[in-house]
Amino acid sequence: MNLYFAPLEGITTYTYRNTHAELFGSCDLYFSPFITPTTSEKVGTRSFRDILPQNNKGTSICPQLLSNDADAFLGFCEKIGALGYTEVNLNLGCPSSTVVKKDRGAGFLRDAAALDRFLEKVFAKSALEISIKTRIGFSSADEFDKLLEVFAKYPIRHLTVHPRTREDYYNGTGDLCAFEKAYNTKKFNLNFNGNVFSAQDFEKISAKFPQLDGVMLGRGAIKNPAIFREIRGGTSLKTAELLNFSKVLAQRYMEVLGSDVYTLHKLKEMWMYIMWNFEGEKKILKAIKKSNSLATLNSAIDCLPEL
């Protein structure tokens, strides 16, 4: 079964992905944080830089696009096809209000007919294979039946389903009954995404849905960067690995960003997830949040106990 690293905006940049692949590995494919191509807005240099092949040497990635504009989507597919990419991923899952209000991400799920028209055009004209990451609806899981009807019309490379609605955000445990509808169609190379935070979580999902193509992990992989290794039967995460990972990232972020402040911000955001491994260490968590330099951050994390 394939293991995929989901994108987290602001965290899983090429610097993070390359370092994770080098120090932990065991992941089959990384998805880039979404890029939003439109016909009226210029794609940011930083976003495009993140997927350049020279910045992703030795790391297999799939660019993810956030769009409801078929022409803009197809135009960007041409650009990344020229870079050697053969697959692009469409984000239909982002629940952010700023995204949803523009009918992108999970906001696109509100109009199945418009989504159908979009998919009809991009599948007819794209030279790249298209995969999709979706939620089960905007406000209700009842919407998923119609969405599955739409998806079933097209040769989707693989469909990744996060079994929550947009209104759920990340609350609750996910609707496995809704996910099972997609599983039982037998029409998709299907991936599961959501609430996989341990090898045990993975085992439960893979036992319930043994014919899955793969499982995509996001927050669980930021919390525990060794989770892919653990799922494959490797050794458990060690505190020393986390400390080394953080310090190697700090050096590499400094080379790319040239700023203590930006580097510190990147690391603190990552450590908010990692500290889920240390739920009893409230003082250290507080010290991480209050750290105002790389030195004070390192002093805080150096006090962490062994896992």
Across residues 193-211, what is the average pLDDT? Answer: 97
What tokens appear for 262 in the block? Answer: 């930006």
Are 77 and 189 part of one and the same domain? Answer: yes
Residue 59 has pLDDT above 70, yes or no: yes
Residue 172 pLDDT grade (very low, low, confident, very high; cuts 50, 70, 90): confident
Q: Is residue 306 part of a domain?
A: no
Between residues 45 and 204, the one the model is more confident about: 204
Are 212 and 262 part of one and the same domain? Answer: no
- Residue ending a domain, among 171, 206, 231, is 231
Across residues 123-149, what is the average pLDDT? Answer: 97
Are 115 and 31 part of one and the same domain? Answer: yes
Q: Is residue 46 part of a domain?
A: yes
pLDDT of residue 47: 73
Are 176 and 93 part of one and the same domain? Answer: yes
What CATH number is given to the structural domain containing 137? 3.20.20.70
Q: Is residue 270 part of a domain?
A: yes
pLDDT of residue 48: 83
Contact by Cβ (8 Å): 196, 205 = yes
Are 251 and 198 part of one and the same domain? Answer: no
Residue 187 CA to residue 137 CA, distance in Å, equals 19
Spatial CA neighbour of 102 closest among 36, 22, 56: 36
- Residue ending a domain, among 187, 209, 231, is 231
Are 227 and 252 part of one and the same domain? Answer: no
Q: Is residue 70 part of a domain?
A: yes
Are 94 and 142 part of one and the same domain? Answer: yes
pLDDT of residue 42: 62
Residue 97 has pLDDT above 60, yes or no: yes
Across residues 46-75, what is the average pLDDT? Answer: 92
What tokens appear for 279 in the block? Answer: 């739920």
The angle at the Cα of 23, spanning 18 to 26, to the nearest 5 degrees, equals 85
- pLDDT tens sequence across 244-294: 999 999 999 999 999 999 999 999 999 999 999 999 999 999 999 999 999
Are 82 and 139 part of one and the same domain? Answer: yes
Residue 281 CA to residue 217 CA, distance in Å, equals 25
Are 108 and 256 part of one and the same domain? Answer: no
Residue 41 has pLDDT above 60, yes or no: no
Residue 77 CA to residue 83 CA, distance in Å, equals 10
135: helix, coil or strand? strand
Across residues 54-64, what is the average pLDDT? Answer: 94
- Residue ending a domain, among 198, 231, 264, is 231
Residue 169 pLDDT grade (very low, low, confident, very high; cuts 50, 70, 90): very high
Residue 173 has pLDDT above 80, yes or no: yes
Instruction: Give percent of the chain above pLDDT 70.
Output: 97
Are 264 and 227 part of one and the same domain? Answer: no
User: HSE (CB half, 13 Å, CA atoms) of 57?
Assistant: 2
Q: Is residue 83 part of a domain?
A: yes
Across residues 150-168, what is the average pLDDT? Answer: 97
Domain span holding position 97: 2-231
Are 254 and 197 part of one and the same domain? Answer: no
Across residues 97-119, what is the average pLDDT? Answer: 97
Are 139 and 255 part of one and the same domain? Answer: no
Instruction: Give percent of the chain above pLDDT 90.
Output: 93
pLDDT of residue 297: 98
Spatial CA neighbour of 36 closest among 104, 103, 130, 106: 104
pLDDT of residue 40: 63
Q: Is residue 307 part of a domain?
A: no
pLDDT of residue 43: 63
Q: Is residue 275 part of a domain?
A: yes
Total of domains in the chain: 2
